[in-house]
């Protein structure tokens, strides 16, 4: 029996909040991919954490094992609702996810995983989103699995790792995926391309509510929720919600003819938190009725494959010796109008192919 060979920390008796990295350090030997998958599908969060660490590894040595783990999990994946959550820094994303996630885990007794794509972690090196200390109550709940954003590599690489982590979480029986991202950079597009439902958190306040939200993000949202609807903020929030509704009305409809609603929430009082969940369910049912749900997922998979392939091709190209240096030089000359794009492109290919 494969179980017998496992180290102590791989057992299901471990507390779910345990740090997988610390666990890994105490490991007597590494589990095989088969062992890891067997454990994680039995609901062992430590094995799940280890498996995600394995697929996040940038070491070539880990690739075959990582590939095997994902392949084994793939047939067990897909049975969750995948929700993307974004909003500008300050909108109260952590407290919203803490309150919303706790409602799902505790009141509804559903298992949920919180993953993150944080492009700022590419710069700072440290991860901000998905940090367990930001969601202490949720992280401690047995039904919740909270995982920080992968770091390092390009946004595309980070997004690919989060997509794969999602497959593992689904195989581990988590029914709801919350994919968190910050309202800056290109990460919303990455998250949008991997979720069933995109939730935009907004601040109330008069006049300039949209300040800071990237252009185009509002049109990507399937559901909008105004946060911090407490005390003196309640009236302003109602006014803001009505203005958003009017604005959304001017947007062209989605393919499935879904009209995004604007909800009011307070993470402090838990006001409106249950309504966000019913709205997600309502949206998913609406999408499934018109077969847009499966279509969206199918298209996302195809797009992901194409992106993976094209990223690989371009990465190979940009790794050619001296290429980035030459490109920067040619870019400057083109921007100054000294040479044509045709000439610059020809020059680059002639130089680097020879």
Residue ranges that bind a second copy, judged by CB under 8 A:
66-67, 70-71, 74-75, 77-78, 160, 163-164, 167, 209-216, 218-220, 243-244, 246-247, 250-254, 297-299, 301-302, 304-306, 308-310, 312-314, 317, 327, 330-331, 334-337, 339-346, 348-349
Closest CB to a second copy among residues 4, 335 = 335
Q: Give CA–CA dist 225/228, Å, rounded.
A: 10
CA atoms 131, 136, 141, 143: torsion sign: negative
Closest CB to a second copy among residues 11, 298 = 298
Closest CB to a second copy among residues 117, 144 = 117
CB of 212 to a second copy, least distance (A): 7
CB of 153 to a second copy, least distance (A): 15
- Tell me the CA distances in angstroms from 24 to 49, 52, 56, 60, 203, one per residue in order: 10, 12, 14, 19, 40
Q: Which residues contact 99 (CB under 8 A, 6 or more apart)?
A: 267, 270, 273
Q: Give CA–CA dist 301/109, Å, rounded.
A: 30
Q: What is the 3-state composition of the chain as percent helix, strand, coil, each rounded to the nearest 5? A: 55, 10, 35
CB of 257 to a second copy, least distance (A): 11
CB of 106 to a second copy, least distance (A): 31
CB of 59 to a second copy, least distance (A): 15
Residue appearing with tokens 């018109």: 290
Strand order in the sheet with 176-181: 144-146, 112-117, 176-181, 81-86, 197-203, 223-227, 261-264
Residue appearing with tokens 């094995």: 47
Closest CB to a second copy among residues 253, 321 = 253
Closest CB to a second copy among residues 109, 211 = 211
Closest CB to a second copy among residues 125, 252 = 252
CB of 348 to a second copy, least distance (A): 6
């Amino acid at each position: 029996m494969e179980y017998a060979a496992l180290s102590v920390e791989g057992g299901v008796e471990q507390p779910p909040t345990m740090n997988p990295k610390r666990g890994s350090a105490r490991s007597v030997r590494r589990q095989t991919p088969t062992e890891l998958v067997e454990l994680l599908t039995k609901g062992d969060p430590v094995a799940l954490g280890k498996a995600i660490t394995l697929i996040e590894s940038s070491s070539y040595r880990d690739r075959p094992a990582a590939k095997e783990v994902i392949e084994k999990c793939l047939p067990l994946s897909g049975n969750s609702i995948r929700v993307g959550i974004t909003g500008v820094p300050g909108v109260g994303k952590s407290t919203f996810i803490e309150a919303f996630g706790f409602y799902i885990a505790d009141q509804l007794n559903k298992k949920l995983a919180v993953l993150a794509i944080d492009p700022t972690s590419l710069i700072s090196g440290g991860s901000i989103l998905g940090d367990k200390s930001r969601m202490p109550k949720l992280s401690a709940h047995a039904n919740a699995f909270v995982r920080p954003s992968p770091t390092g590599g390009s946004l595309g690489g980070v997004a690919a790792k989060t997509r794969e982590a999602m497959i593992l979480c689904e195989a581990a029986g988590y029914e709801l995926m919350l994919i968190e991202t910050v309202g800056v950079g290109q990460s919303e597009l990455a998250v949008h391309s991997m979720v069933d439902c995109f939730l935009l958190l907004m601040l109330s306040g008069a006049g300039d509510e949209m300040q800071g939200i990237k252009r185009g993000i509002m049109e990507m949202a399937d559901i909008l929720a105004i946060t911090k609807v407490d005390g003196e903020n309640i009236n302003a929030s109602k006014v803001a919600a009505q203005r958003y509704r009017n604005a959304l009305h001017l947007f062209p409809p989605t393919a499935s003819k879904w009209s995004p609603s604007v909800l009011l929430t307070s993470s402090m009082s838990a006001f409106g938190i249950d309504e966000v969940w019913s709205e997600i369910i309502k949206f998913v049912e609406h999408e499934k009725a018109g077969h847009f749900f499966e279509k969206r997922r199918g298209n996302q998979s195809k797009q992901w494959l194409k992106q993976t392939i094209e990223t690989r091709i371009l990465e190979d190209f940009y790794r050619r010796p001296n290429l980035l240096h030459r490109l920067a030089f040619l870019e400057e000359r083109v921007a100054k109008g000294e040479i044509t794009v045709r000439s610059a492109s020809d020059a680059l290919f002639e130089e680097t192919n020879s």
